[in-house]
């Protein structure tokens, strides 16, 4: 009888010990799981908040999901990011002694950065050169961003020197120098007045915040 009771007690103790060990392991697993929970990734470190242009100047190659040269990208892609045009804008600014911010402002207002933009009047390219103006400036391909921006900036620089006024120069760029001379001021055309205002607003914005902060 005592043997049976002893065996029962030993079995009960073993069971209790086993249960305790299991409970301890289970508790430990839960605590480890709690510790393993990672903190949220800070917003500024998320990949969708990274400015890839700061990582590499060749980031535009990612736009079309395939590798291609910058020349081909700019030649065949119609809607261009203003940042991609900066080498040409800076080059044109240096050649023609004109602010890069002003050139960028004219591009965003004239063509909205659409490489092959054509107006109802026949103006072409990023800074919307009229055929006769493009011919005078020896532009072979008005849809080539580099040719168009450099030529358009040269024309704008000439107007700035001629009228000695940013407002009148921009009005002449839009409506023609003859029209500005006729009125001796910004012509009474809504299109021209809106153009001058938008360009100057964006120019001031670019000067303050940097090129690329486009106002919609």
Q: Mind telling me the catalytic residues?
A: 110
CB atoms within 10 A of CB 140: 9
Helix (H, G, I), strand (E, B) or coil at 124: strand
Looking up tokens 């990672």, which residue turns up? 38
Residues in the chain: 216
Question: How far is residue 187's CA from residue 174's CA, in Å, rounded to a whole number?
Answer: 10
Q: For 139-197, give the DSSP string.
A: -S-TTSHHHHHHHHHHHHHHHHHHHS-HHHHHHHHHH-HHHHHHHTSS-S-HHHHHHHH
Name the phi and psi angles at 122, rounded to 5: 105, 5
Task: Check if the beta carbon of residue 202 is closer than 8 Å to that of residue 108.
Answer: yes
d(CA 73, CA 45): 29
């Amino acid at each position: 009888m005592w043997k049976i009771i002893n065996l029962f007690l030993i079995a009960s103790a073993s069971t209790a010990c086993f249960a305790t060990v299991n409970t301890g392991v289970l508790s430990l697993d839960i605590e480890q799981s709690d510790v393993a929970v990672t903190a949220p990734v800070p917003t500024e470190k998320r990949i969708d908040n990274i400015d890839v242009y700061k990582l590499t100047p060749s980031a535009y190659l990612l736009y079309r999901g395939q590798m291609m040269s910058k020349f081909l990208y700019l030649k065949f892609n119609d809607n261009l990011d203003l940042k991609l045009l900066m080498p040409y804008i800076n080059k044109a600014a240096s050649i023609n002694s004109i602010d890069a911010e002003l050139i960028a402002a004219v591009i965003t207002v004239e063509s909205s950065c659409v490489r092959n933009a054509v107006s109802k009047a026949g103006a072409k390219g990023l800074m919307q050169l009229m055929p006769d103006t493009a011919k005078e400036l020896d532009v072979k391909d008005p849809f080539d961003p580099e040719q168009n921006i450099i030529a358009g900036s040269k024309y704008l620089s000439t107007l700035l020197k001629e009228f000695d006024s940013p407002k009148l120069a921009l009005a002449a760029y839009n409506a023609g120098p003859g029209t500005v001379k006729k009125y001796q001021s910004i012509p009474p055309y809504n299109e021209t007045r809106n153009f001058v205002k938008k360009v100057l607003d964006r120019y001031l914005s670019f000067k303050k915040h940097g090129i690329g902060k486009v106002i919609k």
